[in-house]
Amino acid sequence: MVPMGTWLAARLLQMKAEGKNDVDWGMAPLPQAASDGKTVTFGSPTAFAVNKKARNSEAAKKFVRWASGPKGAAAIAKVGVVPSYTDDAVMKNFFGVKGMPSDDLSKTAMSPDTVKLEMPVSPKSSDIDQILKEEHELVMSGEKSIDKGIEEMESRVKSEVE
Mean pLDDT calculated for residue range 54-66: 92
Mean pLDDT of 95-117: 91
What integer pLDDT is reported at residue 104 of this predicted model?
94
CB 60 within 8 A of CB 54: yes
- Asked if pLDDT for residue 143 goes beyond 90, the answer is yes
Residue 116 CA: distances (Å) to CA of 33, 139, 162: 14, 25, 23
Q: Kindly report the pTM of this predicted structure.
A: 0.71
- Domain extents in the chain: 7-117, 125-161
The number of CA neighbours under 13 Å toward the Cβ of 77 is 23
Instruction: Tell me how crowded residue 73 is: count the other CB atoms within 10 A of its CB.
Output: 24
Mean pLDDT of the 58-62 span: 92
pLDDT digits (tens, 9 = 90+) for 35-53: 998 988 888 776 778 888 8
pLDDT in tens, 74-91: 998 998 888 888 899 999
Mean of the per-residue pLDDT values of the chain: 90
Is the four-CA dihedral 63, 12, 46, 130 of positive or negative sign?
negative
Is residue 148's pLDDT more than 90?
A: yes
Nearest to 24 by CA among 33, 12, 7: 12
Residue 47 is predicted with a pLDDT of: 74
Q: Which SS3 state, helix, strand or coil, does residue 41 take?
A: strand
Q: What value, to the nearest 5°, has the Cα angle with vertex 83 and ends 49 and 100?
A: 145
